[in-house]
Amino acid sequence: MRSYLKPVLALPFAALPALAFAGATSCSKGATLKKNSRPNIIFIMMDDAGYGDFGCYGQQKIETPNIDAMADRGVRFSDMYTMAPLSSPSRCGLLTGQHAGHAQIRANDEMEDRGDVWDHAAMLADPYLEGQFPLAAGTPTLGSVLKSAGYSTAMVGKWGVGAPLSEGAPNNMGFDYFYGYNCQRLAHVYYPPFMWENRHRVYIEGNELLPPDTPLDEGADPYDIHSYDKYTQAHYSPDLMYERIEHYVDSVATTKTPFFLMWTTTVPHSSVQAPADEVQYYVNKLGDEEPVDGKNYYSSRYPHATYAAMITHIDRQIGDLVAHLKELGIYDNTVIIFTSDNGPANNTNSPMEYFESGGPFKCRKGWGKSSLHEGGIRMPFIVTYGDKLKGEGVQKTPFALPEGGRITSHMAQFTDVMPTLCELAGAKCPETDGISFLPVLQGKESKQKEHEYLYWEFPGGKGWVGVRYGSWKGFIKGVKEGVGDFSLYDLSTDPRESKDIAAEHPEVVAKMWEYVKASHSPVPSGNPKFELDIDSVAPKE
């Protein structure tokens, strides 16, 4: 196991001093743009939100006017993919630009050999039990690369790729400032007893420990909204995060230093929790519904209304942030990117079928999060840059997205974020599996380099391997059980992956196997849980 750093200082919320943000370093040799001419960059990533959870991607029930406004003034991607259908590996790939065949982290690993890491009381007492498997020291990340190019860097939200006492903690990975959940297990509650600010725990006055599997009181009426009062405490974590976001932007804006901010909200990941008046708005809109037993999460009187309210809450904050950037006079020089880490979850708290969260893709149990189906890995992705990206878009998708702004069908993956942001920032880009999509943003799609193929592997469940090659999409489900046969679909005519045509196109399957063999490398170190024995199921020469 990788080394850990001790001790850690715990501070009470009430004793929190005025926030101080580290200054940026000097520009790297890779910088090609003049000082202060580079854009600020804000990367907003939701947690377990589906392709179809937003109005600009076809959602009919959940209101997202500010995200939709981004689509109207920017570029909307129809064919953007995450690197993995689960939190930690998705974030690892995004931060490093490495696809799942090369990434250090390929699955969620809670490092359970440390002790009872699922016991929230034990984690509250001992920060050593928090967090997930860490990125290795010195790994180039979006934070460290942009910091080396003269950017002030910050992340507010969920981390999930390095426990707080490890070398993979945010401040060790290039982020000058961090506030939020280091550990994704603790991020399952929205009224947490503490958050991390840089290397310190900040205890939140009025929020007490309430593990996410806490049931209703014995004898409580599940139809009485007041039976759920205990789940709501003093401070809602998305609001605490947004306060830090505005404070950070205010602080760095006065320095004239370009900044890179990652806002990795935990919304709408279960448990579902939102302010009561915002939930009631959706109860009035959607009507009454049956309560749910949260099982591993909190129970909820109105799970549909609450899920919708959570997304609209973040949408409202995005609108507030845009307005604040305009007040500061920096909106026109700020690139804003919006996306989600992976597809929607399937549990009693996540009503993905009710909301058709997969959009045009099939999205039910086994077809969203934790799968390599389109519903698990195809992501909403919007980029704005003031009014610089306006223009007409031509839809080239087998399904219709709502009109507005520019729509690109350029096939892309989160690996492409690193080279794109480096090009925007004038930073020297490390070796990645990505291709900059800056020409798409500039309206020069004829000059855009294309991926020959995209690759995924995911050791969760029965073990998955996947390839997209042109309009062909193939995957293997069951590598851990010795399954080596590709299922194959033509997404240009079958985006819902309903008809397996592998038997009709052996030449395409053979090509996909070439890509798998070229893309998979053994995990360099760490938990064997991250590894798939692909050689055992590959066709013999």
Contacting residues for 470 by C-beta, under 8 A, at least 6 apart: none
Are the CB atoms for 483 and 493 separated by under 8 Å?
Answer: no
Are the CB atoms for 480 and 459 separated by under 8 Å?
Answer: yes
Residue-level pLDDT at 393:
66
Closest CA to 484 of 534, 518, 528, 541: 534
Residue-level pLDDT at 20:
40
DSSP 371: S
Residue-level pLDDT at 400:
84
DSSP 350: B
d(CA 415, CA 456): 11
Contacting residues for 376 by C-beta, under 8 A, at least 6 apart: 85, 342, 343, 367, 368, 369, 370
SS3 content of the chain, % helix, strand, coil (to 5): 30, 15, 50
Are the CB atoms for 386 and 332 separated by under 8 Å?
Answer: yes
DSSP 292: B
Beta partners for 381?
77, 339
- Token code pair at residue 283: 């109860």
Along the 541 residues of the chain, how does pLDDT read in single tens digits?
A: 343 333 333 433 333 333 443 333 333 333 333 334 799 999 999 999 999 999 999 999 999 999 999 999 999 999 999 999 999 999 999 999 999 999 999 999 999 999 999 999 999 999 999 999 999 999 999 999 999 999 999 999 999 999 999 999 999 999 999 999 999 999 999 999 999 999 999 999 999 999 999 999 999 999 999 999 999 999 999 999 999 999 999 999 999 899 999 999 999 999 999 999 999 999 999 999 999 998 889 999 999 999 999 999 999 999 999 999 999 999 999 999 999 999 999 988 889 999 999 999 998 999 999 999 999 999 999 999 998 997 666 678 888 899 889 999 999 999 999 999 999 999 999 999 999 999 999 999 899 999 999 999 999 999 999 999 999 999 999 999 999 999 999 999 999 999 999 999 999 999 999 999 999 999 977 777 888 999 999 998 7
Parallel, antiparallel or unpaired: strands 200-203 and 259-264: unpaired
Global confidence as pTM: 0.93
| Backbone φ and ψ of 331, nearest 5° | -60, -45
Residue 106 amino acid letter: R
Residue 522 amino acid letter: P
Residue-level pLDDT at 541:
73
DSSP line for 163-193: -TTBTTSGGGTT-SEEEEESSTTGGG-SS-S
Angle at 521 between CA 518 and CA 525, to 5 degrees: 170
Beta partners for 336?
42, 384
- Token code pair at residue 49: 């939100």
Beta partners for 473?
468, 489
